[in-house]
A and B are shown apart, each in its own frame.
Chain A
């Protein structure tokens, strides 16, 4: 129970960066941390104590595996996460070239 709550705390740290920070790169870092927190929560939910990783190595071995379904979902989510992060950071590069700053409170002429 406490182990899930520590994942929620990691998520809230990322959300704090997105909400309260004014530097665009810090906001991107907050998004990354939120992704890690959610992935970690899924992997923790699927864990089974005393079980092994879900790979069949012998023909008639007992099927005492951890839950493979959250692992498959998280595998998809990790790869999507790096794509969205790359898109976010390319927008940051463009914004810096136009406004010469990363402070969101100084970027005011966002039109056209």
Chain B
């Protein structure tokens, strides 16, 4: 229980560092710290599939960030600058919105079951039928590949669409 809080606090600190630091390469590494502590938290929360996918995706994300920083610039020139009045107004409004968001989400989260005891009305069926109907021993793999296979089809569609988008934006031929 206490280790979950420790890792969440570490994630929050790393996120603040990633947003406020001047060197963009250090910001990319801080994003990596957030992602890898998320992977460790997934292991603590008994989700090994999520931890594996998170580690792979996090390495990919940090590599893409570093490649983009090498192609552009690695100093954030907007950090030490004087704020304009419109920006200060925006930050004040953001503060009000954040307070409102926390209050509303506190009310909504109170309607959820407390931490550590989920309802599992749908998931109970999946756990019961996973081995006899699908034949896979990993229930998460049963769900994403069979019970909710259409979700996975949509995921693959989004992934390949974004890959086509990256190729179309980054290609050299045909540009002036």
Question: Which chain A residues have a beta carbon within 8 Å of chain B's beta carbons?
Answer: 1, 3-10, 12-17, 19-23, 25-26, 28-30, 32-33, 36, 39-40, 43-49, 51-57, 63, 65-69, 71-76, 78-87, 89-94, 96, 101-103
Contact = CB atoms under 8 A, between A and B. Distances in A.
A66 B15 contact: no
Interface of B: 4-5, 8-9, 11-12, 15-16, 18-19, 24, 27-28, 31, 34-35, 38, 41-42, 45-50, 53-54, 57, 60-61, 64-65, 68-69, 71-73, 76-79, 87, 90-91, 94, 98, 101-102, 105-106, 109-110, 112, 114-118, 120, 122-123, 126-128, 130-131, 137-140, 143-144, 148, 151-152, 155, 158-159, 161-163, 165-166, 169-170
A13 B169 contact: no
Given A36-B34, A46-B118, A78-B54, 9 more contacts: A1-B106, A3-B4, A10-B15, A32-B34, A46-B45, A49-B117, A52-B46, A96-B72, A102-B77
A93 B102 contact: no
B139 A55 contact: yes
A6 B5 contact: yes
5 contacts: A9-B12, A22-B78, A25-B68, A56-B137, A89-B64
Contacts of B47: 43, 46, 53, 66, 71, 74
Contacts of B61: 32, 82, 85
Given A12-B101, A19-B94, A25-B69, A90 B170 contact: yes
